[in-house]
Chain A
Amino acid sequence: MSLLELKNVYKIYGDLHALDDVNMKIDVGEWVAIMGPSGSGKSTVMNIIGCMDSPTKGQVLLDGVDIASVSSKGLTDIRRDKIGLIFQQFHLINYLTALENVMVAQYYHSMPDEKEALEALDRVGLADRAKHLPSQLSGGEQQRVCVARALINHPELILADEPTGNLDEANEKIVLDLFRQLHDEGTTLIVVTHDAEVGAAAERVITLEYGKVTSENGDTSFGKAARKDVV
């Protein structure tokens, strides 16, 4: 059963086709990596899937609802109820503690629950850092708080934007292990990345180039090739 389906999606800025007839289908519980060079349209896809932008043309079905035709208020509701976001820059609120940062997501979703938020932090191994401000946490720890915040409302889809882009190898491994656990539990994961290791961890890699899907299969060879290019 598909959770997300993009049908003939275009995003056009003037003469620029950021997305040019993109089609993709992601099933419930799948772990998909979206890869591609800079300017390939990864961010645009991410914005559209994350309900932060609408396509110029085409259909985007999330859980059967066409989000292309939903109002901005409707998109806010979908983001809140169905999507958990993980960012490259973590984006924790700097004057709130780790625990409060997790509770902010609960606050907008339903009811803040300190116990549940602490359990989420415990799950990412940060129960003892709950009262720390982001400035008192390492980059890896901040990203784990971000993961805890993304999963606190049990979203149907976790959308991660370069989740390991600012992490060292040890922390990258911790975050990927967390993704694996979520995947094993049946959470749908979409990870936009440059990183071949991260791409290789996914079940399937969708490759974008010049706004078009150039490969869509279980093969992560693009990731490996890309990694070799970088190295």
Chain B
Amino acid sequence: MKRSTMYFRMITASIARRKSRMLVALLAVTVGATILAGLVMVYYDMPRQMGEQFLAYGANMIFVPSAESDGMTIEEIQDAIDEIDAGVESDIEYCYESATINDAPIIVTGCDLGKTYATSPYWQIDGELPSAPGEVLVGLEQAEFFSLKVGDTVPIAYLPPDAAAVANGVNLNGEIEGKVFQDFTVSGILDTGGSEEGYFFISAEDMESLIGAELTYDVAELRVNADAQELQEAADKISDAVPGVSPQLVKRITESQTTVLSKLSALVLLVTIITLALIMITVATTMTAVVTERRREIGLRKALGASDGSIMLEFMGEGLLIGFIGGLLGSFLGFGFAYLVSTNVFNSTITFLPALIPITIIVALAVTALACILPVRNATKVDPALVLKGE
């Protein structure tokens, strides 16, 4: 039989046949490795999770027409989006036009209202989103000003810029020549607590028919799945490639995402360090107890001719075997832990990282080895003479 076979037989027998004591150490390593693997998995997946969460807070990049342009065409916007390497989660284009109601100035916004509503969870609507042509969503402030309620009809007048420029008279009804009138039905009142309450929202198609021309957009809001640095790089690329579009970062969103991420990573690091320290304390305590309990056995081994190196190798072997089993169990249990955290906290599933298995095992082995150093050194100090006279 090879010496290594006998060595393995001795350390496995020690763990397998002395279950109670070793179970404590194994449990400590397994629990520690579980928390560790779980946290790392959550941490690794966090930017993606956070990206999804931050979607609720709106866009992190906007496009506005460049200085030399009055508006962006949909083609220009698409060209700019194509320049972004990271995933674009959503893009919504807005077209703002001045209009009047009974000669009082208003601003009408044309956009894909379904998309806007989906990315603006703070929008409270009394009534419904416009779903048919000729429907309008009115901001609360405007609804109060014009005393509008759901179901009312409101005449919106639009004066095309070219008509305004050449307007030279007033007709018999006292109206400016060239003005376009269109009746809209109020489908809902919008309450946001923000500036949106000052606008009238209609669909892009209605906007096109109101102004009687192809739409050019004033703002495009984008949600890009990228961090602040990647966003800045994308913005620089777009500025160079698409002259009509001026990209800008929404600093409030990108910065808070970065801040939350860095705070969470600090928390994960802290918990990881505490967990590792706790594993070390438990394993060191258990191994110290094991060495004390087995002083006679160590004395005997030394009396039989075991060198200090052999004794260290045997006890370290037991510790490392526990570290290995604990690390292996922990990497799988850690996935379960991460899955629970992910589904309960972030409401989404998590991806299993196979690379985490060897990493967890290596960390568990390193921590166990560190914890074993002192007790194992103490083991070599046992006097072989204590096996005599039945001590």
A interface residues with partner B (beta carbon < 8 Å): 43, 46-47, 50, 52-53, 73, 76-77, 79-81, 85, 87-89, 91, 93-96, 100, 103-109, 111-114, 133, 149, 161-162, 165
Contact = CB atoms under 8 A, between A and B. Distances in A.
Nearest to A108: B305
Contact of A107 (B3, B17, B308, B384): B3
Which residue among B300, B305, B306, B389 has the maximum number of chain A CB atoms within 10 Å of its CB?
Answer: B305
13 contacts: A47-B385, A50-B388, A87-B388, A87-B390, A91-B303, A93-B301, A95-B13, A95-B17, A96-B10, A103-B1, A105-B305, A108-B310, A111-B3
Contacts of A114: 1
Contacts of B9: 100
Contacts of A108: 301, 304-306, 310
Which residue among A53, A112, A133, A165 has the maximum number of chain B CB atoms within 10 Å of its CB?
Answer: A112
Contacts, number: 94
A165 B385 CA distance: 18
A202 B279 CA distance: 56
B297 interface: yes
Given A95-B13, A95-B17, A161-B389, A85 B303 contact: yes
B304 A80 contact: yes
Interface in B273-310: 296-297, 300-308, 310
Contacts of B383: 52
Given A95-B14, A95-B18, A108-B310, A103 B6 contact: yes
Contacts of B389: 43, 88, 161-162
A103 B3 CA distance: 10
A138 B124 CA distance: 85
B5 interface: yes
B1 A89 contact: no
Interface of B: 1-3, 5-7, 9-10, 13-14, 17-18, 296-297, 300-308, 310, 383-385, 387-390
How would you classify the secondary structure of chain B's contact residues: helix, strand, loop or mixed?
helix
A109 B388 CA distance: 20
Nearest to B391: A89
B305 to A, nearest CB: 2
Given A100-B9, A108-B310, A113-B1, A52 B385 contact: yes
Contacts of B14: 95
A73 B301 contact: no
Contact of B304 (A79, A96, A161): A79
Contacts of B5: 112
A112 B3 contact: yes
B296 A91 contact: yes
B6 A107 contact: yes
Contacts of A87: 300, 387-388, 390
A191 B310 CA distance: 29
Contacts of A50: 303, 385, 388
B297 A93 contact: yes
Given A91-B296, A91-B300, A79 B305 contact: yes
B384 A93 contact: no
B362 to A, nearest CB: 28
Nearest to A52: B385
A43 B302 CA distance: 18
Given A43-B389, A46-B388, A100 B305 contact: no
A104 B301 contact: yes
Contact of B387 (A91, A100, A107): A91
B388 A52 contact: yes
A84 to B, nearest CB: 9
B305 A109 contact: yes
Contacts of A94: 297
A114 B387 CA distance: 26
B305 A81 contact: yes
B388 A43 contact: yes
Which residue among A53, A91, A105, A162 has the maximum number of chain B CB atoms within 10 Å of its CB?
Answer: A91
